[in-house]
Amino acid sequence: MANAVTCPTGLTGLIRGMKVREERVLADRKLAKVGGQLDELLASCWEETTDPGPYVFAEKPIDWGAVLQGDRFFALLMIRALTYGPQYAFGISCRRDACRARIEWEVDLTKLPVRALSSESRAAFVAGNRFETTLPDAGKRVGFKLLTGGDERKLPALQRSAPDRLLSAVLAYRVLDIAGIDAKDKRQFIEELTLRDADFLVDEFDRVDCGVDTTIEVECPECRETQEVELPFDSAFFLPGKERTARRKARSTSSPT
Ligand SMILES: [Zn+2]
């Protein structure tokens, strides 16, 4: 069974649901360590490209490392929906300290809001994945890039290498150049940014990007408080319902938190 999907950039192709052999991909610890599981899943379940969208793929199979995060995530959601159906059930704890009740929630993965890549962003991406904005406080123009699958694989290591300077590490990774600042002084400049500028920059990254909005509003059945949560997304996301619950339980009993 194959299904046509159009990703947020316009990349279009046929996908199939996961087969038993993909279980091996998800269980492969070595692959998990280098962040290759999702690429493997995409490579197996994306069967044919009917429109490459803004990408130029030199060879026939897609280079998923060159594909924008928004497209990759969308394709993965659709593969999951095709495999197990569009409904995705998950459980979280109420965030109110006085409550902490278990909230069981379900979302339709095919109904999450999707933001398409705008024609301006597409042009900037095709011209070399360089976007520009001006920082309100520093008054400088900065060039930055949208994240691709290749970047996605590098970020965890980067974050581990600078846990105390997470924000500046991520900003420095995405900022390509700053007008009037030498490349070697980039990191220093970013460390000195006001938080307002940093916040502005992160908003700009989001504004020009495409993708699936994974913020979900849930309501606690006990205290009725509504809260926004991020769609839980890890390798268990691709397991059938029962196995997923079992794996999450095993994990929560084996760790103290
Ligand atoms: Zn509650």
Counting Cα atoms < 13 Å in the Cβ hemisphere of 179 gives 9
pLDDT for res 256: 45
pTM for the model stands at 0.88
Helix (H) or strand (E) holding 198: helix 195-208
Ligand 1 centroid to Cα of residue 12, in Å, is 41
Per-residue pLDDT tens over the stretch 114-170: 999 999 999 999 999 999 999 999 999 999 999 999 998 888 788 788 778 888 888
Which residue, 256, 257, 216, is CA-closest to 233?
216
Ligand 1 centroid to Cα of residue 249, in Å, is 21
pLDDT for res 243: 64
118-209 belongs to which CATH class? alpha beta
pLDDT for res 242: 62
Which residue, 151, 25, 28, 7, is CA-closest to 76?
7
Ligand 1 centroid to Cα of residue 229, in Å, is 13
In this structure, what token pair is assigned to residue 119?
């024609």
Residues in the chain with pLDDT values less than 50? 255-257
Per-residue pLDDT tens over the stretch 16-26: 999 988 888 88
C-alpha dist (Å) from residue 167 to 77, 163, 179, 192: 27, 9, 21, 12
Ligand 1 centroid to Cα of residue 241, in Å, is 24
The answer to whether 20 touches 238, Cβ cutoff 8 Å, is no
pLDDT for res 253: 55
Ligand 1 centroid to Cα of residue 91, in Å, is 13
The dihedrals phi and psi of 65, each to the nearest 5 degrees, come to -70, -25
pLDDT for res 226: 95
DSSP 124-167: HHHTTS-EEEE-TTT--EEEE---BHHHHHHHHHHHHH-GGGHH
Ligand 1 centroid to Cα of residue 227, in Å, is 9
Query: Would you give the DSSP letter of residue 231?
Result: P
Ligand 1 centroid to Cα of residue 75, in Å, is 33
What Rg do the C-alpha atoms of the chain give, in angstroms?
20
Ligand 1 centroid to Cα of residue 120, in Å, is 43
The answer to whether 90 touches 232, Cβ cutoff 8 Å, is yes
Ligand 1 centroid to Cα of residue 94, in Å, is 5
Task: Break the chain into its structural domains and give their ranges.
Answer: 2-114+212-239, 118-209
**Torsion sign across C-alpha atoms 65, 69, 71, 72:** positive
User: Helix crossing, 149-161 with 69-84: angle to 10°?
Assistant: 110
**Torsion sign across C-alpha atoms 5, 11, 17, 23:** negative
User: Helix crossing, 37-45 with 69-84: angle to 10°?
Assistant: 60
Residues pairing with 102 in the sheet = 93
Ligand 1 centroid to Cα of residue 232, in Å, is 19
Q: How many CB atoms lie within 10 A of CB 64?
A: 22
pLDDT for res 250: 62
